[in-house]
């Protein structure tokens, strides 16, 4: 996945806002962390991933999924952007977005209503 593809997927979620963190793109929804691109290894931080799921992902696709000591106690996994499938990325973000977006926005999104701007 390219940087442009990644950003298009992120920004398609209602309420997504771009910022910067450690000199790299970072994104929020509703004032809460959504995802970011790590400077160290061009990996994306994916939240709402249980510890069991993280272990399964790392075993199944070790070239893509990993984590660092910083994330060991968080329900998160790191995914190397170059080898992460865009559809998988969207699914991970959808899970996080549904947790942090305002409930009325999620309901409107699910009903196919345009995002309020």
Return the domain boundaries, the chain: 3-110
d(CA 77, CA 95): 13
Helix (H) or strand (E) holding 7: helix 3-11
The CATH T-level fold of domain 3-110 is 3.90.1150
**Does the pTM of the predicted model rise above 0.75?**
yes
User: What are the tens digits of pLDDT across the range 6-50?
Assistant: 999 999 999 999 998 888 889 999 999 999 999 889 999 999 999
d(CA 37, CA 117): 26
Residue 19: which of 3, 35, 5 has the closest Cα?
A: 35
Residue 81 has pLDDT above 70, yes or no: yes
User: What are the tens digits of pLDDT across the range 62-74?
Assistant: 999 999 999 999 9
């Amino acid at each position: 996945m390219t940087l442009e593809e990644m950003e298009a997927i992120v920004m398609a979620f209602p309420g997504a806002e771009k910022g910067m963190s450690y000199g790299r793109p970072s994104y929020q929804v509703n004032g809460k962390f959504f995802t970011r691109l790590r400077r160290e290894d061009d990996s994306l931080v994916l939240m709402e991933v249980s510890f069991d799921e993280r272990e399964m992902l790392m075993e199944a696709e070790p070239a893509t999924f990993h984590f660092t000591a910083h994330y060991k106690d968080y329900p998160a996994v790191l995914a190397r952007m170059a080898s992460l499938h865009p559809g998988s990325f969207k699914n991970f973000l959808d899970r996080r977005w549904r947790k942090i977006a305002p409930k009325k926005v999620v309901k409107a999104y699910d009903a196919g209503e345009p995002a309020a701007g």
